[in-house]
Amino acid sequence: MGNRIITISREFGSGGRTVGREVAAKLGIPCYDQELIDKIAEKSGYDKAYIQERGEYTASGSWLGNALAMRDFYGQSDQDKLWAVQRAVILELAEKESCVIVGRCADYILRDRADVLSVFVHASIESRAKRIVELYGESDLAPEKRLHDKDKRRQAYYQLYTDTKWGDARHYDVALDSGRLGIEKCVEIIAALY
């Protein structure tokens, strides 16, 4: 049997990153989240902070604005170049070993592989707001505004590079509400499906 991959897409504050890490630990396979940023930085020469900010999020929440922004003579932006490296790294990891990959459009990049379980983790705005305040603390912005801004930029990025609607359950094998089910139950369900 070949490598089996789990991709975790998630709403900001839903706990998808935690779910991914715990699934990987339970299955004894690597989880690529921050580690993916390290690999992309190695391969691309881009700063890790830049990759962290631009490898999943657009500069603004407008798909069209991002499609036209900061292009060179050949029509490419730094973000396009980063997307190409990110895509190559994800494809390479999927060929190399069974693993969990969190975010970065991995579900779309690996969509044609039969050995991929794509998961979308979501939760109510109230549940996510409570979680981000507990994890990251208060900020000048209301938690709901922070959630909206991050999700809008993530959605614009996803649409820009996949021409697909982010979060649409039809594009994932499984969609789990971590607010209702809890993190541990989400981990159990995904591990059982693996």
Residue given tokens 């830049």 in the structure block: 50
Q: Answer whether residue 63 shows pLDDT above 60.
A: no
Overall average pLDDT of the 104-121 stretch: 96
Q: In the numeric block, which tokens belong to residue 130?
A: 């409570």
pLDDT category, 87, cuts 50, 70, 90? very high
Q: State pLDDT tens for residues 123-177.
A: 999 999 999 999 888 877 899 999 999 999 999 999 999 999 999 999 999 999 9
Q: What is the mean pLDDT of the chain?
A: 89
Torsion angle, alpha carbons of 50, 84, 73, 54, to 10: -20
Please list, in sequence order, all residues whose beta carbon lies within 8 angstroms of the beta carbon of residue 32, skipping any fewer than 6 positions away.
Answer: 39, 93, 99, 100, 101, 102
Instruction: Identify the pLDDT of residue 152.
Output: 92
Domains, the chain, in order of start with CATH, read: 5-193 (3.40.50.300)
Half-sphere exposure of 3 (CA within 13 A, CB side): 18
- Judge residue 99's burial from the number of C-beta atoms within 10 Å of its C-beta, 0-12 exposed, 13-18 middle, 19 or more buried: buried
Q: What is the DSSP string of 150-161?
A: HHHHHHHHHHHH
Instruction: Identify the pLDDT of residue 46.
Output: 86
pTM of the shown model: 0.87
Higher pLDDT pick, 179 / 53: 179
* 30 closest CA partner among 107, 118, 99: 99
Instruction: Identify the pLDDT of residue 66.
Output: 46
CA distance 106 to 32: 10
Higher pLDDT pick, 7 / 140: 7
Q: What percent of the chain has pLDDT over 70?
A: 90
List Cα–Cα distances, 137 to 8, 19, 46, 73, 82, in angstroms. 24, 20, 29, 43, 30
